[in-house]
Amino acid sequence: MTRFYADYQARDRDIVDYQEFRIEGCDVPFRGPALDPFVRPQGSFFTCIGAAQTYGCYYDKPYPTLLADALGLPALNLGTGGVGPGFYTEYPALIHAMNRGRFVVFQCMSARQESNSRFQADGHIEFVRERITGERISSSIAWMRAVDEGLDVAERYIAETRQSWIASAKNLIGQLKVPVIFFWYSRRGQDYEIDRAAINAQAKLRAEGRDENHFIVGLTGDFPQLIDAATAQQIIARCDGYAECLSARGMGAPLINRHTGRPIGDVNFGSIGSEFAHLHESHNLYYPSPEMHKDAADALLPVVLGILKRS
C-alpha cells in the first residue's frame, strides 16, 4: 500500500512549484530541486529532515535551500508534512542516503503521531490507529478523542507519547553515522504548560459545532506539538550540535498566486485528504514565512560551520 503523505503540490500548485522528486526505495515524494544521494560523491551534500517547516510550504526558498546557498553545498531536503522521527527508520534507503551526506539537520518534529496505550503510530506521518477498533484517524482527531476521555487521561497519554517519540528519535540518531545537528525551529520556546481553561473553552466550542481549530492547542502547544524541554533535551544530548530559531517574523501574510501575482483568496486543504477538507487559508497562519526561513538559515549557519571545521 502506498504510504500517506501530505500532497502539498496538489494543494499549492498555484502558489509554488515544489519540484518534487522521489528517492529510490521510498514511495514518499520530497521537495526539489532533485538530488540523487546515491549518484553524488560521498560527502558532497547535506541532508535536512523534518516536517512541513523543513519542506517549506508556500515559498520558493525554505531554509535548507538558503543554507545550501550560504555553504555552497547542495541540500537533500527530506522534510515532509506531519512526519515524526520514526518515519525515517521505516525506509533503509533514507538512512543510507543521509549517511552518504556530510551532516544531517534534524528539525525537532512533533510527537502527535506517536504511539501510546490508546493509539498506535501508523507510518509516523499524521495518522494513528485506534488500538481497539483498528480505525485509522488523523492525529488531530485522536487527540480530540483523548481530551474527551478526560484531561487526566489525556495527560497520561502525553507522557506515554513523549516516551515513544524519544525512543523513535534515539533509534534514528543511532543509525546515522554522520554529524547530527538538532534544530529547534518554532514560534515558542521548548517549555509550555497545558492550558486547562483553553482546553475547556475549546471543548465547549466543539460541542456547539463552532470550533475551527485543527488541534487542541491548549493540550498540544504550538509546533512541535507535545514536545517540551525535558523531551527535547534527551535527544539534544545525543546530537553533535544544537541550533535554535524562535521567530514569527512575517506570519499572517496573504498567499500569492504565482501566475497572477495577486492574493490567491482561498487554499483548500482537501487535496491533502478528505480529513482536512474543513481547513481553508487565504493567509499563511501556520507555516514559517520567508522571513522565518531566513532566520532559520542564519541560526544554523554558525553551528554548521563549527561542525564542518571539526569534521
**Residue 281 banded pLDDT, cuts 50, 70, 90:** confident
- Asked, for residue 121, whether it belongs to a domain, the answer is yes
Instruction: Tell me the pLDDT tens digit for each residue of 166-181.
Output: 999 999 999 999 999 9
Question: What CA–CA distance (Å, rounded) separates 223 from 112?
Answer: 10
Asked if the model's pLDDT at residue 3 lies above 80, the reply is: no
Asked if 62 contacts 290 with a C-beta cutoff of 8 angstroms, the reply is no
- Is 304 part of any domain? yes
Q: Closest Cα partner for 243 from 188, 179, 192, 301?
A: 301
For cell 524562535, name the residue.
246
Return the higher-pLDDT residue of 44 and 279.
44
Enclosing domain of residue 128: 8-310
The DSSP code for 3 is P
Q: How many domains does the chain have?
A: 1
172, amino acid identity = L
Phi, psi angles (nearest 5°) of residue 308: -65, -35
Cβ proximity of 49 and 78 under 8 Å: yes
Residue 207 C-alpha cell reads as 460541542
Rounded to the nearest 5°, which phi and psi values hold at 46? -130, 165
Average pLDDT, the chain: 94
Pick from 34-38, 62-66, 217-221: least confident: 217-221
Average pLDDT over residues 38-43: 97
> What is the three-state SS of 205-227?
HHHCCCCCCCCCHHHHCCCCCCC
Residue 63 lies in a domain: yes
CB 18 within 8 A of CB 9: yes
> Where does the chain show beta strands of DSSP type E?
46-49, 75-77, 104-107, 119-121, 127-130, 136-138, 180-186, 241-246, 267-268, 280-281
Whole-number Å distance between alpha carbons of 200 and 295: 35
The per-residue pLDDT for 1 is: 44
Domain-located, residue 211 = yes
- Taking the whole predicted model, whether its pTM rises above 0.85 is answered as yes
Residues 28, 8: Cα–Cα separation, whole Å: 12
Q: What is the DSSP code (8-state) at residue 269?
A: G
How far apart CA 109 and CA 81 sit, in angstroms, is 10
Residue 95 pLDDT level (bands cut at 50, 70, 90)? very high
User: Is 182 domain-assigned?
Assistant: yes
Sheet strands side by side (includes 136-138): 119-121, 127-130, 136-138
Q: Has residue 3 been placed in a domain?
A: no
* Cα 209 versus chain centre, distance: 28
Q: Report the CATH number that the domain containing residue 206 is assigned in CATH.
A: 3.40.50
Could you read off the pLDDT of 108-153 as tens digits, one per residue?
999 999 999 999 999 999 999 999 899 999 999 999 999 999 999 9
* C-alpha–C-alpha distance, residues 85 and 174, integer Å: 12
Three-state secondary structure along 51-113? CHHHHCCCCCCCHHHHHHHHHCCCEEECCCCCECCHHHHCCHHHHHHHHCCCCEEEECCCCCC
**60: Cβ contacts below 8 Å, ≥ 6 apart:** 16
